[in-house]
């Protein structure tokens, strides 16, 4: 039996996450630092070494799909895929036919990752959803079960805020983030953990409550968390209903299936 393999790529400001789907199963993921100074050839050399961890028959992908918030890397990856992997490439943007309805006249400002998350949330959970993505920025968006994209909140991400704090405050050194032991710290580490982790969780909880209040006419709204640091922050959150760590990758895969079957 010849299985089909799909390469999904999520390019963020800090990290690039790649996944390989065998049919509908996610069989491999990689996470590397974002670097818009690398060339297509340099990225190919990097990913060629990563591909050694998967079977040889996956050397060529049947389909590739890309969501990017770094325009220069969109160009570089498009060139890399056309040069080396030869698979068909889909680049997700606001013009992609995802079944979403936008309440703004010009939706092109909406990041591709937000579009993917909105699409997969409505398709997978079949209800109104708040999606909280903990990345370079923390984004909190609302999508209706009918595909209405209501809008987004964008706040500095956990690591972004922490790095800025450490770089500006001479007496504060960087720490490994973990669940705070208490709210009022009796050491620098405890005080920082409370402010960074608990503080961020309280912000997210407050925004989710406010969104649910403002859109109470929708009825039940499910709150979903995703992103690399979501497990840590959500230990302190009360309003998050579930964590879906591979939400964006699954969204990319399902969009690939949708758009390829439409042809």
Q: Whole-angstrom Cα distance, residue 146 to residue 85?
A: 36
Report the run of H or E that residue 247 belongs to, with start and end: helix 247-261
Q: Is 113 in the active site?
A: yes
Q: Return the SS3 of 5.
A: strand
Q: Whole-angstrom Cα distance, residue 159 to residue 137?
A: 9
Q: Which of 10, 113, 133, 244 is catalytic?
A: 113
Running DSSP on this structure, what letter comes out for residue 193? H
Q: Tell me the helix, strand and coil percentages in the chain, rounded to 5.
A: 40, 25, 35
Could you give the angle at the alpha carbon of 25 between the alpha carbons of 119 and 9, nearest 5°?
55
Task: Give the residue numbers marked as catalytic.
Answer: 113
């Amino acid at each position: 039996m010849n299985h089909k393999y799909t390469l999904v790529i999520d390019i963020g400001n800090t990290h690039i996450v790649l996944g390989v789907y065998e049919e509908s199963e996610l069989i491999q993921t990689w996470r590397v630092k974002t670097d818009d100074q690398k060339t297509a050839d340099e990225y190919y050399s990097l990913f060629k070494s990563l591909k050694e961890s998967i079977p040889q028959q996956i050397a060529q992908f049947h389909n590739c799909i890309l969501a990017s918030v770094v325009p220069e890397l969109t160009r570089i990856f498009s060139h890399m895929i056309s040069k080396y992997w030869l698979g068909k490439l889909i680049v997700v943007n606001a013009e992609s036919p995802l079944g979403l309805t936008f309440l703004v006249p010009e939706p092109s400002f909406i990041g591709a990752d937000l579009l993917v998350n909105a699409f997969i949330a409505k398709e997978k959970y079949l209800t109104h959803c708040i999606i909280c993505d903990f990345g370079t920025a923390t984004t909190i968006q609302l999508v209706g079960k009918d595909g209405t994209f209501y809008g987004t909140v964008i706040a500095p991400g956990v690591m972004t805020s922490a790095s800025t704090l450490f770089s500006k405050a001479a007496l504060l050194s960087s720490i490994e983030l973990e669940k705070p032991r208490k709210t009022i710290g009796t050491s620098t580490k405890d005080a920082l953990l409370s402010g960074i982790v608990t503080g961020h969780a309280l912000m997210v909880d407050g925004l989710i409550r406010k969104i649910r209040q403002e859109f109470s006419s929708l009825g039940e709204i499910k709150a979903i968390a995703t992103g690399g640091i979501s497990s840590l922050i959500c230990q302190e959150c009360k309003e998050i209903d579930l964590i879906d760590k591979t939400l964006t990758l699954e969204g990319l895969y399902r969009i690939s299936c949708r758009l390829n079957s439409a042809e």
